[in-house]
Amino acid sequence: MNAFELYERHVNPGLAGLLRFTGLDVVEDHAEGMYVWDTQGKRYLDFLGLYGTLNLGHRHPRVVEAVKRQLDRMPMSVRVMISEPTARLAARLAEITPGDLSMTFFGNSGAEAVEAAFKLARMHTGKPEIVTTEKGFHGKTMGALSLTPKPEYQEPVAPLVPGVKVVPFGDADAVAAAIGPDTAAVIVEPIQGEGGINLPPEGYLRELRRITAERGVLLIFDEVQTGMGRTGRLWASEWEGVAPDLLTSAKALGGGVMPIGAVVGRAELFEPFLENPLVHSSTFGGNPLAAAAALAAIEVTLEEDLPARALAMGERLMQGLRELAARFPELIAEVRGKGLLVGLEFTDADIGAIAISELAARGVLTAFGLNNPKVVRLEPPLIVEEVHIQEALEALEQSLKATLEMLSGVL
């Protein structure tokens, strides 16, 4: 049995079925920069970038080198001693995050970063409630899932963590109305990723900052997907010049080489750790190997000014997409995004699904937003060059033509 069949039998038959439908019933083999190869030797241009993880592309040499060095020295912390890369990374995060965020808790994923933020907010305020947004995505562990209001994920495992209020995204007045005497915090993505690349109205984050400050409620920005330069700034919240009380990061933080999650916050929010240092902990969180990767990833991102690159290349990509949208109005409803966090909204989820498989057949990888199957996400590595954008746009043009042909008579 090949790996695909083994996966289907022993891991997730439903997902294997979905991939088969997309024409990706293949097994990945190796990757470098913008490209992935399957075991048959077919090459794919990666325009998904592991949902905002591969900002530096696959196997960025400086991150790989940093990880190799740490691997040969000490990959795991004994935890009863302090690890240097972990401490240095926390200090670096204090420097590069907005406002006076100065303390970090490390986990291994976005969901763990959100869990920690949730717990810190409750511990600090002594209040139970959190306000979250419709179509928001914050992860799938019980706490994070409680903040991710999607019935398909929540109902099969209910009851969830109580005390969560859901408001429409982009509506600051709704947040103000949802805040009550028991509200600990408001959590929001600066731009919704899985929800379908939804940009809030200008001034939304500033309004949330004003409202939460006024009402004595904490503000959490979930920058797990928007962070590390993806939207054209190191953190998407910088676009509005606003600092939260807690900021979560994961995906691209490990440089696309190691998994790591972090919640960075104001010092007073970490006071519960003074009373009880083990009130929240993780065996692997911020391990030396992951921390070394993140330190290297931050340096590469800043030295190569990848946020600026994301902005320029994002403009170029969206311009090409808009030209295609104008030519295929039966298929594409809207193009939107910021930097290289780009959404292509199809007129129908099934049309999007056909287009994705046509793209995969032409060697370009993309995917749906988990909370919005009409929207195909384009999140290429920030190292993307003009030629790659050309390559993707040409493949998309051919895919749209093929989709249209397939649908002729139906539409």
Ligand X SMILES: *Cc1c(COP(=O)(O)O)cnc(C)c1O
Query: Under the rule (CB under 6 A), what is the footprint of ligand X?
Result: 51, 109-111, 114, 137-139, 189, 193-194, 222, 224-225, 250-251
- The four Cα atoms 145, 149, 151, 152 give a dihedral, to 10 degrees, of -50
- Residue placing its CB nearer to ligand X in the complex, 57 or 193: 193
Q: Give the largest CA-CA distance in the chain.
A: 69
The DSSP bridge pattern shows strands 28-32 and 129-133 to be unpaired
For residues 403 and 401, give the distance between their C-alpha atoms in angstroms, rounded to a whole number: 5
Q: What are the beta bridge partners of residue 37?
A: 30, 43
Minimum distance from residue 365 beta carbon to ligand X (Å): 17
- Cβ pair 340, 230 in contact under 8 A: yes
Closer to ligand X by Cβ: residue 58 or 362: 58
When the beta carbons of 328 and 368 are compared against ligand X, the nearer one is: 368
Residue with Cβ nearer ligand X (249 or 357): 249
Q: Which amino acid is at 60?
A: H
Question: Do 196 and 375 form a contact (C-beta atoms < 8 A)?
Answer: yes
Indicate the residue among 111 and 365 with the shorter CB distance to ligand X: 111
CB of 108 to ligand X, least distance (A): 8
Question: Minimum distance between the CB of residue 12 and ligand X, rounded to whole angstroms?
Answer: 15
> Closest approach of Cβ 118 to ligand X, in Å?
12
Q: How far is the CB of 328 from ligand X (least distance, A)?
A: 28
Q: How far apart are CA 204 and CA 244, in angstroms?
A: 13
Provide the token pair at 122: 């409750």
Q: Which of residues 63 and 370 has its CB atom nearest to ligand X in the complex?
A: 370
Whole-angstrom distance, CA of residue 95 vs CA of residue 193: 25
Measured at CB, which residue is nearest to ligand X?
110
C-alpha 104/C-alpha 260 separation (Å) is: 12
Q: Closest distance between ligand X and the C-beta of residue 366, in Å?
A: 16
